């Protein structure tokens, strides 16, 4: 096929285009905020859901965002032709017996930090259900939001409590990927670098294509 | 101030190169967020909404990752997503008119203050001229003349015939040239 060759650029535009090409890139702080919001949005629209439709996928995706969590779950259930295989679940063999989620304490109060998990075994849990119950998804989201809020307040122990509860109540939940990423962040924030590193390594192995990897890497560099 | 996603990166960056780590989407975000940000700006996204729109572009990319072909360049794919996200934004919010010349001062890397000022003025002039274009023409001009994407890639990204894409590029350049000359004319639309 003979393709028309674009004419040379008009001289009147050349200097302007050159100047535009030198436009500075955005500061890291702004793009970091975008990444943090992506984490929440991905969680709110069904975690690692894959919306694969022949056309109009982007509109449906935006609709899911605009309508919020239940619609996101609905989109996941409706448009994902087959649920992706659930990633290997991280199991803490020598973790302590489940404890109730700690009540949020002031930052200065001494709060227990769960011991570092030392052994992990990758298992393949039951596949993620094709239809995610919106109520369950909302319960998951609330726990992760509470964990994220704890981190935001500088209270990683509270965050870890919520994450443990999520792990207990939704071990193969739709938002497991988000939980595990937050877990790394919380461990790092609690000063438990070894556990964070171990957890981050398991996260990367379990979710090799995760959008949340930069956050995990930021908390615990590979 | 630290910057990300060097805008000078080759437009031919291939997804394959960012999948080497086995984390294609994460790597894609890290390598392309700066590029997407500036592409949105050039497409006409209001400065105040750039963060929201960049978020929407990558969220859409995340959900469309099954359609992501690592053997092909990533930027045309992202450009198509950015264009559609921005089109929806305009349709839904109806406030797509950017304030002309709302260049946000950014001293990052701009040690030559005089040159930086001249660059800002020229960018502002180009943005004002771009604001007068139809969005479809603007998108092709941005993708080809500013981002350096190939016309076949552009046609595919915007889902238009190749000849239509060329036609839009030609008309965009004509419109822009007239607008810029009018701004430079004393008493013109500067």
Contacts B22 to A, Cβ<8 Å: 208-209
Longest dimension (CA), chain A: 73
Q: For residue B46, name the pLDDT band (cuts at 50, 70, 90).
A: very high
How is B10-56 classified by DSSP, letter by letter? Answer: -TT-BHHHHSTTS-HHHHHHHHHHHHHHHHHHHHT--GGGHHHHHHH
Longest dimension (CA), chain B: 57
Q: Does A14 touch chain B (CB under 8 A)?
A: no
Cα(B56)–Cα(B90) distance, rounded to whole angstroms?
13
Among residues A216, A43, A74, the alpha carbon closest in space to that of A139 is found at A43
Q: For residue B24, name the pLDDT band (cuts at 50, 70, 90).
A: low
Answer yes or no: do B38 and A12 touch at CB < 8 A.
no
> What pLDDT score was predicted for residue A151?
82
> What pLDDT score was predicted for residue B103?
53
- For residue B35, is pLDDT > 90? yes
ipTM of model: 0.76
- Are A189 and A144 in contact, with CB atoms under 8 Å apart? no
> What pLDDT score was predicted for residue A211?
67
Cα(A204)–Cα(B82) distance, rounded to whole angstroms?
28
- For residue B12, is pLDDT > 60? no
Contacts B100 to A, Cβ<8 Å: none
Interface test with B, best of A18, A25, A85 (most B CBs within 10 A): A25
Interface test with A, best of B1, B59, B63, B81 (most A CBs within 10 A): B63
Contacts B2 to A, Cβ<8 Å: 27-28
Q: What is the pLDDT along chain A (222 residues), one digit of tens a residue?
A: 455 666 788 888 899 999 999 888 887 778 878 887 877 777 666 544 332 222 223 333 333 333 333 323 322 332 233 333 343 344 333 333 444 443 333 333 334 444 444 333 333 333 444 455 667 777 887 888 888 888 878 888 889 998 998 988 888 887 788 888 889 989 999 999 999 999 999 988 888 877 678 778 888 988
Residues 6+ apart with CB under 8 A from B184: A12, B190
Cα(B133)–Cα(B65) distance, rounded to whole angstroms?
32
Mark out the alpha helices in B49-112 (DSSP H runs).
Answer: 50-63, 74-93
Q: What is the DSSP letter of B65?
A: G
> What pLDDT score was predicted for residue B40?
96
CA distance B90 to chain A (A): 13
Structural tokens at position A40: 């929440």
Q: For residue B21, name the pLDDT band (cuts at 50, 70, 90).
A: very low
- Are A39 and A213 in contact, with CB atoms under 8 Å apart? no
Structural tokens at position A65: 């965002």
> What pLDDT score was predicted for residue A154?
84
> What pLDDT score was predicted for residue A85?
36
Q: Alpha-carbon Rg of chain B, whole angstroms?
A: 17
Answer yes or no: do B108 and A10 touch at CB < 8 A.
no
Structural tokens at position B141: 């001009």
- Are B159 and B79 in contact, with CB atoms under 8 Å apart? no
Structural tokens at position B175: 């419109």
CB-defined contacts A:B, below 8 A: 179
Q: What is the DSSP letter of A131?
A: S
- Who has greater pLDDT, B11 or A43? A43
> What pLDDT score was predicted for residue A149?
80
The reported pTM is: 0.54
Instruction: Tell me the range of A26-30, A213-217, B94-98, B159-163 where mean pLDDT is highest.
Output: B159-163
Answer yes or no: do A21 and B8 touch at CB < 8 A.
yes
Kindly report which listed range (A165-169, B45-49, B101-105, B113-117) carries the lowest average pLDDT score. B101-105
Of A6, A64, A211, the CB nearest to B29: A211
Contacts A22 to B, Cβ<8 Å: 119
Among residues B101, B3, B89, B11, the alpha carbon closest in space to that of B50 is found at B89
């Amino acid at each position: 096929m003979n393709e028309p060759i674009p004419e040379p650029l008009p001289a009147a535009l050349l200097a302007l285009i050159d100047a535009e090409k030198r436009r500075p890139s955005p500061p890291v702080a702004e793009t970091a905020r975008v990444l943090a919001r992506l984490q929440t949005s991905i969680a709110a629209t069904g975690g690692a859901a894959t919306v694969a439709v022949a056309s109009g996928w982007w509109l449906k995706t935006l609709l899911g965002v605009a309508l919020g969590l239940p619609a996101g779950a609905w989109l996941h259930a409706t448009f994902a032709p087959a649920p992706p295989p659930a990633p290997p679940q991280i199991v803490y063999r020598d973790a302590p017996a489940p404890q109730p989620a700690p009540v949020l304490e002031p930052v200065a109060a001494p709060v227990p930090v769960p011991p570092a998990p030392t052994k992990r075994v990758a298992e393949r849990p039951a596949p993620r259900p094709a239809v995610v119950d919106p109520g369950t998804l909302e319960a998951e989201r609330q726990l992760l939001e509470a964990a994220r809020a704890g981190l935001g307040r500088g209270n990683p122990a509270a965050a870890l409590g919520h994450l443990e509860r999520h792990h207990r109540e939704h071990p193969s939940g739709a938002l497991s990927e988000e939980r595990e990423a937050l877990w790394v962040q919380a461990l790092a924030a609690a000063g438990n670098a070894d556990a964070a590193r171990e957890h981050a390594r398991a996260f990367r192995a379990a979710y090799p294509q995760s959008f949340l990897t930069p956050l995990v890497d930021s908390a615990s560099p590979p | 101030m630290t910057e990300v996603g060097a805008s000078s990166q080759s437009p031919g960056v291939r997804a394959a190169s960012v999948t080497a780590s086995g984390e294609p989407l994460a790597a894609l975000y890290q390598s392309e967020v700066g590029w997407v940000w500036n592409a949105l700006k050039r497409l006409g996204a209001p400065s105040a909404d750039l963060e929201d729109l960049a978020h929407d572009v990558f969220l859409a990319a995340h959900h469309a990752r099954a359609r992501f072909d690592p053997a092909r360049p990533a930027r045309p794919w992202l450009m198509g997503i950015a264009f559609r996200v921005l089109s929806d934004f305009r349709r839904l919010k109806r406030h797509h008119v950017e304030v002309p010349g709302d260049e946000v001062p950014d001293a990052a890397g701009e040690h030559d203050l005089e040159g930086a000022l001249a660059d800002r003025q020229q960018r502002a002039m180009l943005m004002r001229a771009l604001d007068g274009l139809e969005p479809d023409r603007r998108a092709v001009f941005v993708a080809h003349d500013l981002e350096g994407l190939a016309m076949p890639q552009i046609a595919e990204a915007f889902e238009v015939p190749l000849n239509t894409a060329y036609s839009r590029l030609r008309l965009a350049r004509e419109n822009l040239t007239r607008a810029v000359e009018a701004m430079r004319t004393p008493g013109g639309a500067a």
